[in-house]
Chain A
Amino acid sequence: MTNTIWDASQPILEIENLSISFFTRMREIPAVMDFSCKVMAGEAMGLVGESGCGKSTVALGVMRDLGKNGQIVSGSIKFKGRDLVTMGEEELRHLRGSEIAMIYQEPMASLNPAMKIGAQLIEVPMIHQGMARAEAWELARQIVADVRLPDPDRILNAFPHQLSGGQQQRIVIAMALMSKPALLILDEPTTALDVTVEAGIVDLVKDLGHKYGTSMLFISHNLGLIMDVCDRLCVMYSGEAVETGAVAQVFDDMRHPYTQALFRSIPLPGADKNARPLISIPGNFPLPHERPKGCNFGPRCAYFQAGRCDAGDVAMADVPHADRHASRCVKWDEIDWTAAPKARVVKEKAPIGKVVLQMDDLKKYYAVSGGAFGGGHAKVVKANETLSFAAHEGETLAIVGESGCGKSTFAKVLMGLETATSGTIMLFDEQVQSTPIQKRSVDTVSSVQMVFQNPFDTLNPSMSVGRQIIRALEVFHIGTSDAERNDRMLELLDLVKLPRAFAERMPRQLSGGQKQRVGIARAFAGGAKVVVADEPVSALDVSVQAAVTDLLMDIQRQNKTTLLFISHDLSIVRYLSDRVLVMYLGHVVEMGSTDQVFQPPYHPYTEALLSAVPVADTKVIRKRIVLEGDIPSAMNPPPGCPFQTRCRWKSQVAGGLCDSQMPPVQTLTDGHQIKCHLGADVLAQMEPVITFAAE
């Protein structure tokens, strides 16, 4: 397709000393500094880092789409030997979409809502290759089939909103592949998707990369994903590349303190909240205009040495005897990289007490009208079906499942934001299933509290932090005077390890992790006995996640709180929960202690979920089970077992029971129950999904 003669042994993309700044009225904000990387033909390069580290800016810089304020200050970006920095608009336009294509984080927002899928796809070859409409349509059909979407003709004639999130992302991928680009830039392509859908997309991207020989620049904050997809990676911190090299080398023999700290702060199999707790990175990410002198990571680094690390700019240094492995650390060859971390504090396991929350046969149905303007048959969404479990004092019960499985509905019913359709919820010695929150007593309300997913939206932006906590104290009738409440507020700030001076701050002056701490302080203001944490750390950066999780655990140990931890992230669930409850389409499909759930025998859905979670550890061998299709709609669940449409074990059940009958709840061992038709002999044969390679 391309008329440029170009030698395949040369890098496809070569970025040298790239610096990008954003210019505001106040000042110049450097977003990327002195960034270099090379992507060879057919190679997948990963860019890892926390939000704000400049990884997306690099991607947009390659596309030369930095907006009005962004500017490439220095350096070069060579694509197949041609410098993109000095290229004219028109020439650039010919490259975009045809030779360099991009896949975005949010598929729904990236597709034009008012254009049919087909029209959006055929545009690419029609612009770049001047292809005729019919021919382009034929190509689109073929590529849509390539990205494993069923019924290409229907898809091409659909609008984006008629597809599910996973299907939309496949379309975005198809769009990127329409003119067989040499370089594909993927900017967090699966962050907005469920894990099982993510697994499918990741497999697809890898296969297509091999099939078309496309080079990839894969941007993600998820180290596990990078290991799955990429050959090489580049770790970024605060606008700089701090370490680069082959994936296995960086994962096993990292040579930069930030990379090491990052790995120590993510929950890998083997981490344990009591015996081997995570080590969070102290301090906060520096703001772009508040970067320290010398090494940017210096103030948070365990190996920091005054006078050397803060002396001046640190350059990338090559690590010898390795394949293009480099680190931006002045002390990289002095640090003992194999030494065990010393900061690890072993904590005592909290005792588990009596039952505080008991749910029996809880059901929650919603009635929705059929048409957009009323009329049509009212449909029933069965959000929760026969939910039964007990939670004990001081226990962490994790509730796991993908979006739409009913885990948030359950939380709403427990909190009293919704009332149950049937069944009972016993909270201590009170039945609360049909008492909405307005009618609950202050005691009940203050004893069941919630920590929300998004700390950015759940704090009132126009009220100071201290005021918000005092407000909660007032609502819960705690303290008799303002002075008393003020003291209690300061104690709560101590509890969540925030400086007392933060009481005067406004939420916008806080980082994400600090806001979540305020959210936790507010939840515990009334001495909550049961706390529902709805994905409390999923909106936070990796290095902050560990600190916030540990904080929750510490408070739990002190207060003997029952923690209901709602999450889709199985790594963190494995790390911190005592018992796990797996939900699918409103049903509890498996429940048991963490060890029981994470080891065979599994419920087939749990097995698939476990295998879908990327693990950032080269020693872990993971069996790949990719679920076909999407989660069925809760409005129209399949007959029989809810999971039968995607289950790979279905053939092992005789007599088509899965299609016709709801499986019974089998109790396997003490307290481990699964909702499945599979016989004990089949279950006994199940192999573990995750195994450790022999050392």
Chain B
Amino acid sequence: MLAFVIRRLGVMLVTALVLTFVVFFLTNLPPNLEKLARSEGSVRMTDAAVASWLEEHGHNGSVFYRYAEWLGAAPGWVITDEKGVTRGKCIGQRDDPAMAPKFCGVFQGNWGVSTVFKKTVLFSLGKSMAATGWLMLAVMLVMVPVALLIGVLAGMREGSRTDRVLSTFSIATSATPEYVSGVILVVLLASPATGLSPLLAEWGWIGSKTLFMGTATSAMDNITFWNFGLPVATIALYGVGYIARMTRASMTEVMTQQYIRTARLKGVGFRQVVLRHALRNAMIAPFTVIMLQFPYLLNGVVIVETLFNYKGFGWMLVTAAGNNDIEMLLGASVVAVIFVLVTQLISDIGYVFLNPRIRLG
């Protein structure tokens, strides 16, 4: 087990290096750098000025060396200009150049400064990840139990009325993209003009104008059911349909297995057949799907966070990408890569616990 985890961590490290290099390469293509120079320096810079700006800010040289610098595996650039002022990647504005460390990169905890948010990347990332973390947690807490319940109920008696009703619901929700379901939910529940809210307000059942709040900005500081409900529901609805379909398929298959017949003919009641004999076997396939939902959520939040103006990871990613914020994008890619790989590691380990036939090396 330990050996397996260590081996997997090694593989993860290599994967992370490769992936971050790809992102580094793409974000540091010459046109991007030129754009950076013009936005940081002056929009009207001549080409020559751009070139010298880039050189002064350490953007020249081989992409591999710059990647190593960014990682902190190679010494940061140091330039002494004509005035005798020494500047470098690792030298702060008021620091003494002589005292500054030679290496400063991701390994040393220096992830750079965001050009959009004017804060360090680590600080902005931390804040947005925390916000998204709460969102994802809430989504998972709603989505997984609901989906499994629907899937198991639908799958345990294939072809029954329950199955058909629940399957129709699952197909409908998984066929509705988030930007559609989000808008529908807002119209139905969070609009002072249409949907339920005007009725409820008229009857005096709610104090405010709308039942739910159409924006989740206030949830950044204080999460309540009313400001968080709609974004969570929007993301969860889509996933519920998807996971429920997977669970149902797995459950119907398990219910036709011979060992289920064995259990039934042992005199085990239907409820116990489902709970004790079928459930664990039926969870094996959906478990992987559920763990794959985590990386998906990280992407999925982009739409919902933008829709509900919730300043989490997705919103930040959109802003950074739109503003050529290279350091921020790099930082986000590191976080995303690690996040995906860690959830997959958990998925593999959990799989072993669910399925005793699989052994880890």
Interface residues of A (CB under 8 A from B): 63, 65, 68, 93-98, 101-102, 104, 106, 109-115, 123-124, 127-128, 159, 161, 172, 175, 371-376
In the complex formed, the residue of A with least CB distance to B261 is A65
User: CB distance A93 to B269 under 8 Å?
Assistant: yes
A112's contact among B262, B269, B358, by CB below 8 Å, is which?
Answer: B262
Is B267's CB under 8 angstroms from A95's CB? yes
Inter-chain CA distance A372–B277, complex, in Å, is 26
Given known contacts A104-B258, A112-B259, A112-B277, A65 and B356 CB-to-CB distance under 8 angstroms:
no
Residue B35 interfacial (CB < 8 Å): no
Q: Are A65 and B361 in contact (CB under 8 A)?
A: no
Which residue from chain A places its CB closest to the CB of B283 in the assembled complex?
A114
Set of chain A residues within 8 Å of B356, measured between Cβ atoms: 113-114, 159, 161
Q: Of all chain A residues, which has the CB nearest B264? A: A65
Contact, CB under 8 Å: A114 / B281? yes
Interface size on B (CB < 8 Å)?
A: 30
A94–B280 Cα distance when bound, in Å, is 25
Q: Is the pair A112, B281 in contact by a Cβ cutoff of 8 Å?
A: yes
Assess A175 versus B354: contact at CB under 8 Å? Given A109-B257, A112-B281, A372-B359.
no
Cβ of A189 to closest chain B Cβ, rounded Å: 13
User: Residues of B with Cβ closer than 8 Å to A?
Assistant: 3-4, 7, 159, 257-259, 261-269, 272, 276-277, 280-281, 284, 354-361
Give chain A nearest CB distance to B263 CB in angstroms. Answer: 7
7 closest A-B pairs by beta carbon, nearest first, are A97-B267, A373-B361, A97-B266, A371-B361, A109-B258, A96-B267, A112-B259
**Centre residue among B159, B267, B269, B355 by max chain A CB count within 10 A:** B267
**B360: chain A residues within 8 A (beta carbon):** 371-373
- Docked complex Cα distance between A297 and B196 (Å): 72
Q: Return chain B residues, CB-CB under 8 Å to A172.
A: 262
Distance in Å from the Cβ of B94 to the closest Cβ of chain A?
A: 52
Counting chain B CB atoms within 10 Å of each CB, the highest count among A127, A128, A373 belongs to A373
B284 — which chain A residues lie within 8 A by C-beta? 114
Question: Which A residues lie within 8 Å of B269 (CB)?
Answer: 93, 127
A124 touches B266 (CB 8 A): yes
Knowing A94-B267, A96-B267, A115-B277, the reply to whether A104 touches B262 (Cβ < 8 A) is yes
A112 (CB) vs chain B CBs: closest residue? B259
A113 to B358, CA, bound (A): 11
How far does the Cβ of A248 sit from chain B's closest Cβ, in whole Å? Answer: 32
Given contacts A96-B267, A106-B258, 10 further A-B contacts (CB under 8 A): A97-B266, A104-B258, A110-B258, A110-B259, A124-B266, A127-B268, A127-B269, A159-B357, A161-B356, A175-B262
Q: Are A127 and B266 CB-contacts (below 8 A) given A113-B281, A159-B356?
A: yes
Rounded to whole angstroms, the CA-CA distance of A94 and B262 in the bound complex is 14
Point out the residues of chain B lying under 8 angstroms from A127, CB to CB: 266-269, 272
- Known contacts: A113-B357, A161-B357. The answer to whether A123 contacts B262 by CB under 8 A is no
| Interface pair A175/B266, CB less than 8 Å apart | yes
Interface centre among B4, B159, B266, B355, by most A CB within 10 Å? B266
Q: Is the CB of A63 within 8 A of B361?
A: no
Q: Find the A residue at minimum CB distance from B281.
A: A114
Shortest distance from the beta carbon of A439 to any chain B beta carbon, whole Å? 36
- B267 near A124 with CB under 8 A, answer yes
Q: Which of A111, A112, A371, A375 has the most CB of B within 10 A?
A: A112
B262→A65 contact, CB < 8 A = no
Contacts of B361 on A, CB cut-off 8 Å? 371-376
In the assembled complex, the Cα of A115 lies from the Cα of B219 at a distance in Å of: 44
Is the pair B267, A372 in contact by a Cβ cutoff of 8 Å? no
Total A-B pairs, Cβ < 8 A: 90
Given A93-B267, A98-B267, A112-B281; A372-B262 close (CB under 8 Å): no
- Give CA–CA (A376, B4) in the complex, Å: 12
Contact at A63–B263, with CB atoms within 8 Å?
A: no
Enumerate chain A residues within 8 angstroms of B257, measured Cβ to Cβ. 109
Nearest-CB distance from B11 to chain A (Å)?
11
Which A residues are in CB contact (< 8 Å) with B280? 114-115
Closest-by-CB residue of B relative to A63 is B265
Q: Please give, as numbers and ranges, the residues of chain B lying within 8 Å of A95 by CB-CB distance.
A: 267
Q: Are the CB atoms of B359 and A371 closer together than 8 Å?
A: yes
By a CB distance below 8 angstroms, the chain B residues around A373 are 4, 7, 360-361
Nearest CB of A to B261, in Å: 7
Q: Which residues of B contact A93 (CB under 8 A)?
A: 267-269
In the complex, which residues of chain A have a beta carbon less than 8 angstroms from the beta carbon of B359? 371-372
Cα separation A175 to B268 with both chains bound (whole Å): 13
Report whether A97 and B258 are in contact in the complex, using a CB–CB cutoff of 8 Å: no
Q: Which chain A positions have C-beta within 8 A of B258? A: 104, 106, 109-110
- B residues within 8 A CB of A101? 265-266
Bound complex: CA of A106 vs CA of B261, how far in Å? Answer: 12
CB distance from A593 to the nearest CB of B (A): 43
CA distance A63 to B264 in the complex (A): 10
Q: How far is the CB of A24 from chain B (nearest CB, A)?
A: 14
Residues on the B chain within 8 Å of A106, using CB: 258
Chain B hits for A102, CB < 8 A = 262, 265
20 contacts between A and B (CB under 8 A): A68-B159, A93-B267, A93-B268, A96-B264, A96-B265, A96-B267, A102-B262, A110-B259, A111-B262, A113-B259, A113-B355, A114-B281, A114-B354, A114-B356, A115-B276, A123-B266, A127-B272, A159-B357, A161-B356, A373-B7
Closest residue of chain B to A178 (Cβ to Cβ) is: B266
Which residue on B lies nearest to A100, using beta carbons? Answer: B265
Report the separation of the CA atoms of residues A113 and B359 in the bound assembly, to the nearest whole angstrom.
Answer: 14
Bound CA span A159–B356, Å? 7
Question: Bound complex: CA of A172 vs CA of B257, how far in Å?
Answer: 15
- In the complex, A172→B357 CA distance in Å? 19
Closest-CB distance, A180 to chain B (whole angstroms): 14
- A97-B259 contact in complex given A113-B357, A115-B277, C-beta closer than 8 Å: no
Looking at the assembled complex, report how far the CB atom of B185 sits from the nearest CB atom of chain A, in whole angstroms: 38
| B264: min CB distance to chain A, Å | 7
* Distance, CA A175 to CA B265, complexed state (A): 11
> Using Cβ atoms and an 8 Å threshold, which residues of chain B touch A128?
267
* B4 to chain A: closest residue by CB: A373
Chain B residue at smallest Cβ distance from A116: B356
Q: Which of A110, A374, A376 has the most CB of B within 10 A?
A: A110
Instruction: Please name the residue on chain B nearest to A99 by beta carbon.
Output: B267
List of A residues within 8 angstroms of B263 by Cβ: 112, 123
Residues of B within 8 A of A114 (CB): 280-281, 284, 354-356
- B261 CB contacts on chain A under 8 angstroms: 65, 104, 110
Smallest CB–CB gap between A598 and chain B, Å?
Answer: 37
User: Which residues in B have their C-beta under 8 angstroms from that of A68?
Assistant: 159
Q: Which residues of chain A come closer than 8 Å to B259, judged between CB atoms?
A: 109-113
Q: Which residues of A contact B4 (CB under 8 A)?
A: 373
Nearest Cβ distance between residue A187 and chain B, in whole angstroms? Answer: 11
Determine the chain B residues whose CB is within 8 A of the CB of A96 once the complex forms: 264-267
CB distance from A234 to the nearest CB of B (A): 22
Contact residues in A for B277 (Cβ distance below 8 Å):
112, 115
A110: which B residues are within 8 A, CB to CB? 258-259, 261-262
Nearest-Cβ distance from residue B348 to partner chain A, whole angstroms: 9
Task: Name the residue among B265, B268, B269 with the largest chain A CB count within 10 angstroms.
Answer: B265
Question: Once the chains bind, are A372 and B281 in contact (CB under 8 Å)?
Answer: no
Expressed in whole angstroms, the minimum distance between the Cβ of B69 and any Cβ of chain A is 35
Q: Shortest Cβ distance from B50 into chain A, in angstroms? A: 51
B360 to chain A, nearest CB (A): 6
In the complex the two chains form, what is the Cα distance from A114 to B263 in whole Å? 13
Residue of A nearest to B278 (CB): A112
CB closest chain-B residue, reference A124: B266
Distance in Å: Cβ of B354 to nearest Cβ of chain A: 7
Report the minimum CB–CB distance from B39 to chain A (whole Å).
48
How far, in angstroms, from A517 to B186 measured CA to CA in the complex?
Answer: 68
Q: Is the CB of A97 within 8 A of B281?
A: no
Task: Tell me how far the C-beta of A109 lies from the nearest C-beta in chain B, rounded to whole angstroms.
Answer: 4
Q: Could you tell me the distance in whole angstroms from the C-beta of A107 to the nearest C-beta in chain B?
A: 10
B267 CB → nearest A CB, Å: 3
Nearest A-chain residue to B269, judged by Cβ: A93
Q: Once bound together, how far apart are the Cα atoms of A332 and B258, in whole Å?
A: 41
What separation, in Å, do the CA atoms of A98 and B357 have in the docked complex?
30
Contacts of B159 in A (CB 8 A): 68
